[in-house]
């Protein structure tokens, strides 16, 4: 990858400000957990695995900055830090998954100093593991990519959404490395334009043949036979295989079914939530109305109009041809096969 999304450097967190893409590549430096929480909420960093890693780094900053003189006070501070981070975005399970993983270290009977060191190394482990998982998912998923075909992807499930080379987009990067010739269609992803601003930017930057469309062009292009498969990421996969992902994914999956086109989901095991039985139990984030009534600061609707802005939707398991994780390709019945693969 010829850029990075986030990293830990000399006791600080560096994150590319994704709100500024595609026109500016700017890195912000964060030294306090409150700043990281705000960056997650305002989408400086976004994408399920990336906000998980950012959450883990936020915990490491909180630990590093703590002035607590006793283990008890330190644990209280860290519990508050975890709550703050997790409350920023409700749908992607990777955020609580990573934060809880760091928080669990507080149960160890160690000195404050050792605990702080362990917290940082766990956050760094989460980062490194994400990099490795991305590559593994890409290698497994590349088998699904066929020579000469065109694949639709929605939102951004690429390097910008992870610490590594992405989930869905990693499949394209690995297929290209294998020498396969194929092309990608990125849907722009209203209202935040992750497809246009981020996916189009990173695929083009990395030499993948990509064409941008608006979201409402998908049905037409499928009917014309110009899309041969759909590959997306996920923010949370319920135990039964229902998949939450960026708003618009469900529509693309229904259209894929209507046109007999395979719909694939690519996500690491940190996205699978066995405690959520099905899609109905997945909390869907509602984002600010400004995202819908303004187009980059310029009014695009009456100021007083009533607005809905759900940021995610749920694609039922029966519409999904396969789920690719870092361990391989899983087919239905997902309830059994996801659990089996985890073992």
Q: Choose the binding region for ligand MRU from 67-75, 95-103, 162-170, 301-309 (rule: CB under 6 A).
A: 162-170
155, 185, 230, 238: which one contacts ligand MRU (CB under 6 A)?
155
Outline where DSSP puts E strands in 12-95. Answer: 12-16, 27-30
Q: Which is nearer to ligand MRU, 115 or 134 (CB)?
A: 134
CA atoms of 280 and 334, how far apart (whole Å): 16
CB of 221 to ligand MRU, least distance (A): 20
Among 246, 252, 314, 325, the residue binding ligand MRU under the rule CB under 6 A is 246
Segment near ligand MRU (CB under 6 A), from 26-34, 114-122, 161-169, 317-325? 161-169
- Cβ closest to ligand MRU, residue 63 vs residue 231: 231
Q: Does 85 bind ligand MRU (CB under 6 A)?
A: no
- The residue within the footprint of ligand MRU, chosen from 49, 96, 191, 248 (CB under 6 A), is 49
**Binding mask of the shown chain, residues 7 to 46, with x at each position contacting ligand MRU by CB under 6 A:** ---------------------------------------x
161 near ligand MRU, judged by CB under 6 A:
yes
Question: E strand or H helix at 335, and its extent?
Answer: helix 334-342
Are the CB atoms for 26 and 20 separated by under 8 Å?
A: yes
209 is catalytic: no
Give 225: exposed, middle or buried? Use CB within 10 Å, 0-12, 13-18, 19+. Answer: exposed
At residue 122, the 3 state secondary structure works out as helix
Using CB under 6 A, which of 234, 240, 276, 315 touches ligand MRU?
234
- Cα distances from 216 to residues 245, 247, 293, in angstroms, run 17, 13, 18
Instruction: Choose the stretch contacting ligand MRU; rule: CB under 6 A; options: 105-113, 202-210, 227-235, 296-304.
Output: 227-235
Map the footprint of ligand MRU across residues 295-324, applying CB under 6 A. 311
Residues in binding contact with ligand MRU, number by CB under 6 A: 19
Tokens of 142: 């590349």
Residue from 77, 130, 235, 326 that binds ligand MRU (CB under 6 A)?
235
Number of residues that make up the chain = 343
Pair 251, 259: CB distance under 8 Å: no
CA distances from 193 to 1, 48, 86, 152, 301 (A): 21, 16, 24, 15, 17
**Contacting ligand MRU (CB under 6 A), which of 88, 162, 240, 270?**
162
Q: Which stretch binds ligand MRU (CB under 6 A): 160-168, 172-180, 294-302, 316-324?
A: 160-168
Closest by CA to 133, choosing from 14, 233, 13, 21, is 233
How many CB atoms within 10 Å of residue 339? Answer: 13
Cβ atoms of 332 and 276 within 8 Å: the answer is no
Token pair recorded at residue 133: 């998982």
| Residue spans of beta strands (DSSP E) within 60-197 | 150-154, 183-187
CB-CB neighbours of 2 under 10 Å: 8
One of 92, 142, 176, 222 touching ligand MRU (CB under 6 A): 92
Strand (E) or helix (H) holding 44: none
Between 47 and 58, whose beta carbon lies closer to ligand MRU?
47
Interface residue with ligand MRU, options 48, 213, 253, 319 (CB under 6 A):
48
Candidates 32-40, 60-68, 103-111, 229-237 — which segment interacts with ligand MRU by CB under 6 A? 229-237
Is position 47 an interface residue for ligand MRU (rule: CB under 6 A)? yes
Position with the least CB separation from ligand MRU: 233
Binding to ligand MRU, residues 164-193 (CB under 6 A): 166-167
Q: What is the largest CA-CA distance in the chain?
A: 67
DSSP category for residue 325: E
> Which residues here bind ligand MRU, judged by CB under 6 A?
46-49, 92, 155, 157, 161-162, 166-167, 194, 232-235, 245-246, 311
The residues annotated with a catalytic role in the active site are 235
């Amino acid at each position: 990858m010829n850029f990075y999304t986030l990293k830990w450097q000399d006791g600080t967190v560096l994150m590319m400000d994704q709100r500024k893409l595609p026109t500016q590549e700017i890195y912000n430096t964060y030294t306090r957990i409150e700043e990281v929480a705000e960056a997650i909420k305002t989408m400086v960093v976004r994408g399920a695995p990336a906000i998980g890693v950012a959450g883990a780094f936020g915990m490491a900053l909180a630990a590093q900055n703590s002035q607590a003189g006793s283990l008890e006070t330190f644990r209280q501070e860290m519990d508050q830090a975890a709550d703050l981070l997790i409350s920023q975005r409700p749908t992607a399970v990777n955020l609580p998954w990573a934060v809880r993983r760091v928080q669990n270290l507080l149960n160890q009977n160690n000195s404050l100093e050792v605990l702080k060191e362990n917290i940082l190394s766990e956050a760094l482990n989460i980062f490194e593991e994400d990099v490795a998982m991305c590559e593994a998912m890409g290698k497994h998923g590349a088998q699904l990519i066929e020579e000469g075909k065109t694949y639709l992807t929605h939102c951004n499930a690429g390097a910008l959404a992870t610490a590594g080379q992405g989930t869905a987009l990693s499949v394209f990067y690995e297929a290209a490395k294998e020498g396969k010739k194929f092309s990608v269609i990125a849907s722009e992803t209203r209202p935040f334009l992750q497809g246009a601003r981020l996916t189009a930017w990173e695929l083009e930057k990395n030499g993948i043949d990509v064409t941008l469309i608006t979201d409402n062009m998908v049905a037409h292009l499928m009917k014309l036979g110009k899309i041969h498969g759909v590959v997306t990421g996920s923010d949370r996969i319920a135990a039964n295989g229902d998949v939450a992902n960026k708003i618009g994914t469900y529509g693309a999956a229904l259209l894929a079914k209507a046109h007999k086109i395979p719909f694939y989901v690519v996500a690491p095991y940190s996205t699978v939530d066995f405690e959520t039985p099905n899609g109905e139990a997945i909390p869907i984030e509602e984002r600010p109305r400004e995202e819908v009534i303004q187009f980059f600061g310029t009014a695009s609707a009456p100021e007083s109009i009533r607005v809905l802005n759900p940021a995610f939707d749920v694609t039922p398991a029966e519409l999904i041809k396969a789920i690719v994780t870092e361990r391989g390709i899983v087919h239905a019945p997902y309830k059994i096969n996801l659990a089996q693969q985890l073992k």
